[in-house]
Amino acid sequence: MEPSIPVHTGLATLDWILIGVYFVVIVAIVYWSSRKVNTSSDYFLAGRHVGGFVVGASLFASNIGSEHIVGLAGNGAVSGMAMAHWELHAWVMVLLGWVFVPFYYKSGVFTMPEFLERRFSSGTRWVLSIVSLIAYVFTKVSVTVYAGALVFKTLLPDTFGSPDNAFWVGAFTTVVLTGIYTIFGGLRAVVYTEVAQTSLLLLGSVFITFYGLRELGGWGELQAMAAQNKEAFALWRPLSDPDFPWLGILIASPVIGIWYWCTDQYIVQRTLAAKDLTNARRGAIWGGFLKVWPVMIFLVPGMIGWALHQKGVIHIPAKADGSGIDGDMVFPTLVANLLPLGLRGLVVGGLLSALMSSLASLFNSCATLFTVDIYEKLRPNRPEKELVAVGRIATGAVVLVGIIWIPIMHAMAGGGIYKYLQTVQGYLAPPITAVFRLGLFWKRVNARGAFWGLVLGFVLGMAKLGIEAVHASHPFADGSLFAGVAAFPFLYYSGVLLLLSTVIVIAFSLLAPAPAEEQIRGLTYGSLTEEDRREIRASWNAADVILTVIVLGLVVGFYLYFSFWLD
């Protein structure tokens, strides 16, 4: 079968014009933002004057990076709907808006580690700050840049002399440009550029789905082909499935989701920038509405790519070991082979949007963590201009480390970057989720319990990750303890680690006196005053409830449809 749209290579003049217009818009927004940065609140929280619509768009765009688009499409091609559970976390964003945000926003903090200090102690703040910084640089920066560079390598294979040159040019250019606009504009530049980027990202991905289905022959054809491979494409897998057993999904997905959406600085910082509690909550709910759609516009295109490859319409490169198609090449291959000129530039702009918005969010979050949770603790009461300057220097340092890390990530091979990211997060998330959850809902949890829950939980998580890494290159003897630990699925281990972390927090808390009422007032549900409760109640109305019902209804609808779509 021959494709009805001629296959093109590279980008045409019209494509470059569209990309150029995109960058002009970004520069204008950054220039406008930089003129409004005078204080640390301006730089790190956009002056706490962001509306709910912008907060929601920023939440969505921060989450949807190039690794998300490329990785999700790859997982769609290789494992069907298995990763959809992570994309239906809109219900967790509703949890963020209704359960967590009131405490964060009312406390007036800049960062999540700062909130832990208010609730527990400076020790818990230090632990979370350092671990978060390390995790951001060596997971999110690396995979985001790597995924974006893969797109350049596929779409512009000869523009810079060779595919490898295109990889490096794409990687370095996007990191440097994103670093520049984050350094000068701060969070204000990040959130307002993300509004434009969200629209472009959604529009470009819809075109991929539309043209892919048109080439394939419609939704029914995709459904019929997937039904012939039901074991590999179903939403729910049997317990015998080595990668995505249904019980493991039910255990790990909420743990990772609550950590990422409700406690991670990278995400929560957007809600802290809202002009008031009402807009912070509405931003989270609006972000939840946007979060439902990646299943259709990122995961489904991956399955379309697999089906087109099976029918010989397009060719997706194989993995280096020849074990099957390289999932991470599916999305760029679809862009290069299916889209007409002009639209290709639009989608490349969308991919640039995804890459740059995620990196910008990450750079600003790292700068905030370093300045507020480390520098200001070491050198308190510094002038506002000095804190802004330190934030910009910290952003530049993260950009530099990201550049240094690119060759290492490039050498880390092949496919499955999205699953890799979820695996690492599955080991980082449980202790943080346990500490925040217990800290908000149980007054008896104290600083000792939180500190040791974080420390020992991280040690146990990184030990599992380290054993897996060693086993991958130098396998342990069959039947040995280390071989068994390495083989234990990450989905189940996330649940085990959450249970262990919870036990550690409770046990160490009970070995020390309960925190004083003055310390925790307003920071747990049990310590809210009547005035606090009235203020929280006044911050929402029927419109918030209706939008929440719509979001939850969409999540339920998607689950019901895709649970039975192959029967």
CB 251 within 8 A of CB 491: yes
Q: Which of 18-27, 258-267, 431-440, 474-483 has the lowest mean pLDDT?
A: 18-27
- Out of 23-27, 33-37, 76-80, 320-324, least confident range: 33-37
How far from 266 is each of 44, 67, 190, 358, CA to CA, in Å?
A: 12, 16, 12, 9
Mean pLDDT of the residues in the chain: 81
Do 63 and 206 meet the contact criterion of CB atoms below 8 Å apart? no
Inside any domain, residue 162: yes
* Residue-level pLDDT at 413: 42
566: its two tokens: 């192959």
Which long-range contacts does 172-176 make (Cβ < 8 Å, 24+ apart)?
A: 172/403, 172/406, 174/145, 174/148, 174/149, 174/352, 174/355, 174/356, 174/359, 175/145, 175/359, 175/399, 175/402, 175/403, 175/406, 176/399, 176/403
Highest mean pLDDT among 41-50, 295-304, 320-329, 448-457: 448-457
| CA distance linking residue 551 with residue 463, whole number of Å | 38
| Cα 122 from chain centre | 27
* 467 assigned to some structural domain: no
Q: Which residue has 């990889």 as its token pair?
A: 167
Reference 431, options 326, 508, 541, 546; nearest CA is: 508
- The residue with greater pLDDT, 197 or 545, is 545
Q: What is the C-alpha to C-alpha distance for residues 202 and 205, in angstroms, rounded to an integer?
A: 5
The predicted model gives 472-491 an average pLDDT of 85
**Which of 278-287, 309-318, 342-351, 473-482 is predicted least confidently?**
342-351
Q: Residue for token digits 């943080």?
A: 432
Q: What is the extent of the structural domain holding 200?
A: 13-415
Q: Between the ranges 28-37, 44-53, 370-379, where is the mean pLDDT highest?
A: 370-379
237 - beta bridge partners? 245
Distance (Å) of CA 79 to CA 74, 243, 366? 8, 9, 33
5 pLDDT tier (thresholds 50, 70, 90): very low
Alpha helices per DSSP H over 217-320: 219-227, 230-233, 246-262, 265-272, 277-291, 294, 300-310
Split at pLDDT 50, 70, 90, the class of 207 is confident
- Count of domains observed in the chain: 1
Question: Looking at residues 389-413, what average pLDDT do you find?
Answer: 68
- For residue 160, what pLDDT band results from cuts at 50, 70 and 90? confident
- Residue 507: its pLDDT value, please? 97
pLDDT in tens, 98-108: 999 988 887 87
Query: What local confidence, expressed as pLDDT, does residue 8 receive?
Result: 47
3-state secondary structure 65-131: CHHHHHHHHHHHHHHCCCCHHHHCCHHHHHHHHHHHHHHHHHHCCCCHHHHHHHHCCHHHHHHHHHH
Query: Which of 118, 194, 176 lies closest to 402 in space, CA to CA?
Result: 176
CATH number at residue 286: 1.20.1730.10
Q: How far apart are CA 459 and CA 437, in angstroms?
A: 20
Could you tell me if residue 6 is inside a domain? no
Q: Is residue 444 part of a domain?
A: no
| Number of Cβ atoms within 10 Å of the Cβ of 218 | 11
Q: Which two tokens stand for residue 351?
A: 């991919």
Q: How far is CA 462 from the centre of its chain?
A: 20
Top-confidence residue, 436 or 35? 436
Burial of 27 from C-beta contacts in 10 A (0-12 / 13-18 / 19+) = middle
Q: How confident is the model over 11-26, as pLDDT tens digits?
A: 678 778 877 887 787 7
pLDDT confidence of residue 1: 41
Q: Give the C-alpha distances (Å, rounded to integers) separating 149 from 152, 231, 351.
A: 5, 32, 10
Residue given tokens 């009422």 in the structure block? 517
Report the candidate in 95, 156, 124 with the shortest Cα–Cα distance to residue 332.
156
Highest mean pLDDT among 15-24, 109-118, 149-158: 109-118
Is 19 in contact with 342 (CB distance < 8 Å)?
A: no
Give me the mean pLDDT over the 361-387 stretch: 79
Between 449 and 185, the more confident residue is 449
Phi-psi domain of 7 (left: phi exceeds 0; alpha: psi -120 through 50; beta: other): beta
Q: Please state, as a whole number, how many other Cβ atoms lie within 10 Å of the Cβ of residue 454.
A: 25
> For residue 359, is it within any domain?
yes
Q: What is the pLDDT of residue 194?
A: 65
Of 452, 466, 468, 467, the closest CA to residue 501 belongs to 452
Cα distance between residue 190 and residue 58, in whole Å: 8
> Which of 257, 259, 256, 277 is CA-nearest to residue 112?
259
459 has a pLDDT exceeding 70: yes
Q: In b/e form, how buried is each residue of 241-253, taking b as 16+ CB within 10 angstroms?
A: beebbbebbebbb
pLDDT at 357: 67
- Among 165, 205, 202, 173, residue whose Cα is nearest residue 356: 173
pLDDT in tens, 498-554: 999 999 999 999 999 999 888 888 888 888 888 888 988 999 999 999 999 999 999
272: nearest Cα among 183, 187, 376: 187
pLDDT at 415: 42
* Nearest by Cα to 461 from 144, 123, 1, 139: 139
- Residue 43 belongs to some domain of the structure: yes
* pLDDT tops 90 at residue 360: no
The residue with tokens 């990040």 is 190
From residue 405, give the alpha-carbon distance in Å to each of 77, 206, 358, 488.
Answer: 28, 32, 17, 29
Average pLDDT over residues 158-179: 74
CA geometry: angle 538, 119, 272, nearest 5 deg: 50
pLDDT value of position 552: 97
Least Cα distance to 142 among 84, 66, 74, 81 occurs for 66
Q: Is residue 241 included in any domain, yes or no?
A: yes
Residue 230 is assigned to a structural domain of this protein: yes
Report whether 332 contacts 163 (CB < 8 A): no
